[in-house]
Structure 1
Amino acid sequence: MNTSSLKCALPLLAAMTMESASAAQFKALLFTKTAGWQHESIPAAISATRRLSELHDFAVVHSDSADVFTPENLKQFDVVVFLLTTGDVLNERQQDAFQAFIRSGKGYVGIHSAADTEYDWSWYRGLVGRNFLIHPAVQSAKLNVLEAGFPGLEFMPARFTWTEEYYTYGAEHSESLNYLLSVDESTYQPQAMWGEIKSNGMGEFHPIAWYQQYDGGRAFYTGLGHLPASYDSAMFLSHLYGGIYWAATGKGIE
């Protein structure tokens, strides 16, 4: 290439380099609509996810409106994160769009009260895996890592202390759940009673995070993330990003 041709090519090469550098590895929709309890940790969770997107080079769009759940709009995303959602957040048309999104091979991430969402939609119950029933007061307890090869669990010891609003969950709504974390009920007080709803916990096995292949797509859920300060924890954020990364790409499991 002569000097003149090289000078002409430099702007194009520079533009291509800039475009490559700005290309995100995937795109996530961060959905925070609530139709029930609204967690005070939502702003911290949004900010933390945006920091993760900068650290790990993925694009993120936040919305607390279900109007974003249209087939045309969802096409641009690789994963939808139900971040601290509660209650009935999607109408039937929006449910259809989200179901088609997952069936096209895309991903879902549920954080904490995503299990307290869409109880009357059987497909979503299968997607999230288990529903929230009740919880005791926030306490510290011992957690166990059950599958260390899942992305994001590299920074978690095999057994560690964590402070959380530990949900008690109902029965499995899917037979495909792979469990990542469990909480040792002997290390805290799992008993809770809300009027006629009473629980002594889940017993010997109390899962708190899991993942699965579901209806053509991928689903990850973690029950952690109640406290705003959780989103300042590098260990928790690694766990959160690992779930987003796997749900968006299907990569990372060893």
Structure 2
Amino acid sequence: MRPNVLPLLLVMCLTVVPAAIAAPTERVLVFTHTAKFRHDSIPTAVSTLRLLAGRERMAVDQSENPADFNAANLARYKVVVFANTTGDVLDAEQQAAMEGFIRAGGGFVGVHSAADTEYDWPWYGRLVGAYFRNHPEGLQFSRVQPERDGKPVGTFWPVRDELYNFRSNPRGTVQVIATVDERMYQGGTMGADHPIAWCHAFDGGRSWYTGLGHDTAVYRNRDFQAHLRQGLLYAAGRSGEC
């Protein structure tokens, strides 16, 4: 029997070592609790974020439970994502835990209706960058123009989604990273400068937001996937560019 021991040990090493090498190094909490409208795209948003994070060796936990917002639990995470949250989702104590997470250097990613969340929490409004005002009827086509330092960069990419109008234009308080072209659809109210995604250093941490992500199909758009990936990397502090 002894001659079989060495081959067995080799097999064990070959199976255990790659798993250890591939082990996630950081964790992401994807929060999807809703108190108002609930998007059908939430499961797809979560699976897409899980896929993109996994490629970057980050593990994703999804939660619908506001009680997960406590200091001890949040300390386990590098990034918190609000993926199509709506309404008043955290109480005062949970809000304080989220503020502490950011002040300790944590990262935040807001997707679509994260801007339609917590209107009575001014700190959160500043974290996200702008609140939702309304949206044109239905899904419409436009093009997303990436920008850097206030100037277009690279090529635009087409998108079909629910295109938010915001209560204020966040330019000047955040770094705008993409706009949409209101000339291509009906119902835009922000004019020639319509930011749709932005980032900023905030209160000791990092915040990244995209107004896209309403429609399930948009998560199959490779440009949008690259967009979300960059948001995760920025929020995790792995990239200085968002």
TM-score by length of 2: 0.87
Give the letter for the 1:253 counterpart.
Answer: E
Q: CA deviation at 1:142?
A: 2.3
SS in 2 for 1:253: coil
**1:239 aligns to 2:240 (yes or no):** no
State the Cα distance separating 1:227 from its structure 2 match: 0.6
CA shift for structure 1 position 29: 0.2
- Identify which range, 73-82 or 236-245, moves more after superposition: 236-245
CA displacement at 1:172 relative to structure 2: 5.0
Summarize the Cα distance change of 1:145–1:174 in structure 2 as closer, same or farther, 3 Å threshold.
closer
Q: Which residue of 1 aligns with 2:54?
A: 54
CA RMSD in angstroms comes to: 2.6
Give runs of ≥4 in structure 1 deviating > 2 Å: 10-20, 53-56, 172-176
Gaps of 5+ in 1: 1-9, 149-155, 192-200
Contact 2:169 2:195 in 1 (8 A): no
Distance 1:236 1:173 in 2: 21
Judge which range, 13-22 or 100-109, deviates more: 13-22
Does 2:140 align with 1:139?
yes
One-letter code of the match for 1:99?
Answer: E
Q: Counterpart in 2 of 1:163?
A: 160
> Could you tell me which residue of structure 2 aligns to residue 109 of structure 1?
109
CA distance in structure 2 between the aligned counterparts of 1:45 and 1:179, rounded to whole angstroms = 22
1:78–1:106: 8 Å Cα contact kept in structure 2? yes
Shift of 1:73: 0.3
Per mean C-alpha deviation after superposition, the further-off stretch among 41-50 and 95-104 is: 41-50
Query: Map of 1:47-86 to 2, 5 A cutoff?
Result: 47-86=47-86
% identical equivalent positions: 41
Unaligned runs of 5+ in 2: 1-9
Amino acid at match of 2:239: K
- Distance, in Å, in 2 between the alignment partners of 1:82 and 1:113 is 8
C-alpha contact (below 8 Å) 1:176/1:213 kept by paired residues: no
Q: Distance in 1 between matches of 2:113 and 2:211?
A: 7
1:206 to 194, 197, 205: 194
Using the alignment, how far apart are the partners of 2:239 and 2:154 within structure 1?
Answer: 22
In the alignment, is the contact (CA less than 8 A) between 2:165 and 2:190 conserved in 1? yes
Query: Partner of 1:178 in structure 2?
Result: 175
Counterparts of 1:234 and 1:213, CA distance in 2: 26
Name the counterpart of 1:39. Answer: 39
SS at match of 2:236: helix
Which residue of 2 is the match for residue 248 of structure 1?
Answer: 236
Aligned pairs, number: 232
